[in-house]
Each structure stands twice: as structure tokens, then as C-alpha cells.
Structure 1
Amino acid sequence: MTETNHARLSDLIIGHPEVTSFEELERLVAHAAESGIMHLEFDLKPDYKDTPRKWEWLLEASFTRGLRYE
């Protein structure tokens, strides 16, 4: 992370090698939002087998929603 309220998707992925699917990444992104991250930069496409075509939209929704619907 470059600032306390800003994160790059690549930093989240590198920092959490236990995340092995897009579904797990969605939960990680939701947790990041709940922990105070205000902006998430989508600097790369996640390279998981289950990454959907509309991955940016889905991650943005997870980030905005946070953990409220988990």
C-alpha cells in the first residue's frame, strides 16, 4: 500500500498469497474497505481461473459494499 487510505490491487494480491480464487479476492477487497482503505486502484487483472469478464465491476461492488452482505 502506498498510503494508509490507498491501496493497489496488486499489493493486496501479493500481500495475501493464501488468496487463490476470485471469490476469495472479493472478500479480501471487502475487508480492505472495512479496514479504512478509501481508494482501491485496479492496476492489474487478477489471474485466477474463475476471474469473470466483468471483474472490475464486481470488485468495485465488493469494495463499496464492504462486509455488510457477507
Structure 2
Amino acid sequence: MNLDKLKELRESRGYTQQMLSTYINMSTSTYNDKEKGKTSFKIEELEKIAKLLGLSKEEIFGLLDLD
């Protein structure tokens, strides 16, 4: 999973880790661990992130090399 792309997308749209973690209902430290690759995102979490970032599920999965 290419998590650097997720960080780039998040930052380019002006979102902090805290904002995304709140949106997907998890602690900021848990989100930070997931964005750093220490633990994995659930599909449902990535779908919510995609929606917030204005991407389709297919786009975010492709960008993160999940296809």
C-alpha cells in the first residue's frame, strides 16, 4: 500500500490527521499508525476517506496500489 500518496492527498486538500481521524471515528494516534503503515486501514475506512477527499473507491484503491 502506497501510504505516501494518501498523506499527499490529505495534505493537498488541507486536511490534518486529526480531521480525518474524527471523520472516520478513530483516535488521531490510531490514524497516524495507519498512515505510517504500522497497522492497516479497513476497507470501510478507506471508502470514507475517499468520499471526504472527493475520490471514488476505485480511485483511492488504485492510488494506494490496492487494485
TM-score (norm 1): 0.28
The structure richer in helix per residue is 2
TM-score (norm 2): 0.28
The structure richer in strand per residue is 1
